[in-house]
Amino acid sequence: MPNISTTYLGLQLKSPIIAASSGLTNSLEDIKAIEKAGAGAVVLKSLFEEEIVTEMERELHQMHSQNYLYPETMDYYDTFDVEGTLSDYLRLISDCKKEVGIPVIASVNCITAHNWPSYARNLEDAGARAIELNIYALPSDLERKGEEQEQVYFDVIEAVLKEVSIPVSIKISHYFSNLGEVITRLSKTGIAGLTLFNRFYSPDIDVDNLEVIPTHIFSQEHEYTMPLRWIAITSNRVDCHLAATTGIHDSRTIVKMLLAGAQVVQLASTLYKNGVETIQRYNHEIDQWMKKHDFKNLDDFRGSLSQSNAANPAGYLRVQFMKQFSQK
C-alpha cells in the first residue's frame, strides 16, 4: 500500500492535502468534517492585522481611561467588535487542540510589522501548531519603491520569529519584480515554509448597475500553472518547504505539484464547489496513481520533475510562443 503521509513545517501529516485558509476553516464543526475527509492539516481563516491592532489599542485605551474617559473614543472602539473576534479565534484554536487530531495552523493577514507581532504568542499559547502569515498590500502608492514594499516581508518575519517558537510560514503572491530571488531570500530567514501563491479578491465593474463588484471569488482550473512553474523552478533551491495553492481542482494537479517539488497542497475553491468530502477521493486517487507507478512514498517521486531534475529544464523557462500558433 502506498504511503501518502508527509512532513510539513516539522509536522507529521497523514496526507499532503491541506484545507487552505478560508471560510471553510472557521468553525470546529467544519474542521472536524475536514479531518474526517482525510486532510493532513487545516489552515484557519485569517485574522487580520487591523483586528489585532484595534483590540490592542482598545485594551491600552481602557487602561489609560480608567481615570479620564473620552466617550467618543470608546464609542469608536465599540463599533468594532474585534474583542469577540480575537477571543473566538483563540477559543477555536484551543477547542481544536482538544478535539481535532490533525495539525491546525493559525493564519494572520498582515501588511506591516508594527505592534501586532507580539500577539502571535497568543496563537501559540492557545495551541496553534504553526502560523501562516499572509502578507500583501496592493502597491497602490505610486511613489513607493519596490524595495520598500519587499522589506515589509523581512520585517514581519523577523518580528514574528522573535515572538514564537512554533514554525512560521509565509503565503505570498507572485507580484514581485524578481520573484525567484525574493523566494530564495525569504526561505533563508528562518521560516519553515512558503505557500505559493495567494489569490486575491479582484474587482470588476457591473455595467448595468454602474458599480464596482467582486469577481471570480473561486479559482479556475488553469490557474495552477503559475504556482506549478515557480515551485518547479525554486524547489531544491530554497531552505524551506513549499506549499502549492491556487487552481488545484483535482488529484492529477495535486500529483503535478508534488512532482514539481511541493511538500503539500492547499485547497479552497474545489472544496467550496465539491464539498470537503472530496478530499477522501483525492487521497484515494493519489494512492491509485502511486500504485500504478510503483511509488511507495511521496518522497519516491516528489521533485522528480522540478526544473533541476526534469529532462527538459528549459520547459519551465519558456515564456514566448515561438512555434505554437505561428502558422495557421
- Give the SS3 label for residue 39: coil
Q: How far apart are alpha carbons 31 and 24 in whole angstroms?
A: 8
Q: Does 248 engage in binding with ligand FMN (CB under 6 A)?
A: yes
Q: Does 307 engage in binding with ligand FMN (CB under 6 A)?
A: no
Q: How far apart are alpha carbons 25 and 272 in whole angstroms?
A: 11
The single residue among 4, 17, 20, 233 that binds ligand FMN, judged by CB under 6 A, is 20
Q: Toward ligand FMN, which CB reaches closer, 126 or 295? A: 126
Q: How far apart are alpha carbons 84 and 77 in whole angstroms?
A: 12
The single residue among 6, 54, 107, 187 that binds ligand FMN, judged by CB under 6 A, is 107
Residue environment code for 224-244, b if the CB has 16+ CB neighbours within 10 A, otherwise e: bebbbbbbbbbbeebebbbbb
Q: Which residues fall within 8 angstroms of residue 232, CB to CB, at 6 or more apart?
A: 260, 261, 305, 306, 307, 310, 316
Q: Of 60-68, 138-146, 160-168, 214-222, which segment contacts ligand FMN by CB under 6 A?
A: 214-222
Q: How far is the CB of 319 from ligand FMN (least distance, A)?
A: 22
Burial class from Cβ neighbours inside 10 Å (0-12, 13-18, 19+) for residue 129 reads buried
The single residue among 8, 17, 18, 22 that binds ligand FMN, judged by CB under 6 A, is 22
Burial class from Cβ neighbours inside 10 Å (0-12, 13-18, 19+) for residue 15 reads buried
The single residue among 100, 228, 268, 279 that binds ligand FMN, judged by CB under 6 A, is 268
The single residue among 4, 31, 120, 267 that binds ligand FMN, judged by CB under 6 A, is 267
Q: Toward ligand FMN, which CB reaches closer, 250 or 313? A: 250
Q: Does 251 engage in binding with ligand FMN (CB under 6 A)?
A: no
The single residue among 6, 15, 54, 109 that binds ligand FMN, judged by CB under 6 A, is 109
User: Where do contacts with ligand FMN occur on this chain (CB under 6 A)?
Assistant: 20-23, 45-46, 107, 109, 134, 171, 198-199, 217-219, 245-248, 266-270
